[in-house]
Amino acid sequence: MSAFSSARGRDDAEIKWLLRAAKLGSANAENLVGAHYTEGQGVPRDDVEAARWYKKAAEQGDMYAQANIGWAFYEGRGVTQSYELALSWYKKAAEQGHPESQYNLGLMYADAVGTEKDTSEATVWLKRASEQNIEQANEALRNVLQET
């Protein structure tokens, strides 16, 4: 048996159990099922199906799923692109402490993407991301502060 077929078998078994847990309402499993559809692991790659699972988990308050559905709306992956919805989902994840969402939210406020430009909000979220070791946030924060 090749390494590929062995890994493929693990992916198939994993997605089978994740789907069971997701269908029972586990937000963590729903988010992971979404990730499997995004990456095509154990299931065919399907951005629409990924977004559907991310949204189910996000609506239950899972910050990782909120970040993922935010990304989907930002990129228009499996959903109609909407910067406003991306901002809304990123904010929910950021408020729970998700560092990448804090960074993305800060950039969106700084660059007026999906919202009016708001340097004070941008500063708040970029500082929080920086405090959680998102290195790109440091440079973005410097840029925002230089503009004020």
The tens-digit pLDDT sequence of the chain (148 residues) is 233 333 445 577 889 999 999 999 999 999 999 999 999 999 999 999 999 999 999 999 999 999 999 999 999 999 999 999 999 999 999 999 999 999 999 999 999 999 999 999 999 999 999 999 999 999 999 999 998 7
pLDDT score for 13: 85
Whether pTM exceeds 0.85: yes
pLDDT score for 20: 96
pLDDT score for 5: 32
The answer to whether 116 touches 108, Cβ cutoff 8 Å, is no
pLDDT score for 103: 98
C-alpha dihedral over 54, 56, 59, 65, to 10 degrees?
A: -20
**62 CB contacts (<8 Å, ≥6 apart)?**
27, 28, 30, 31
Alpha-carbon gap, residue 108 to 120, rounded angstroms:
12
How far is residue 73 from each of residues 53, 80, 81, measured CA to CA in Å? 14, 7, 5
**126 CB contacts (<8 Å, ≥6 apart)?**
102, 103, 106, 107, 110, 137, 140, 141, 144
pLDDT score for 70: 98
Alpha-carbon gap, residue 39 to 45, rounded angstroms:
6
pLDDT score for 4: 32
Alpha-carbon gap, residue 143 to 128, rounded angstroms:
16
The answer to whether 31 touches 62, Cβ cutoff 8 Å, is yes
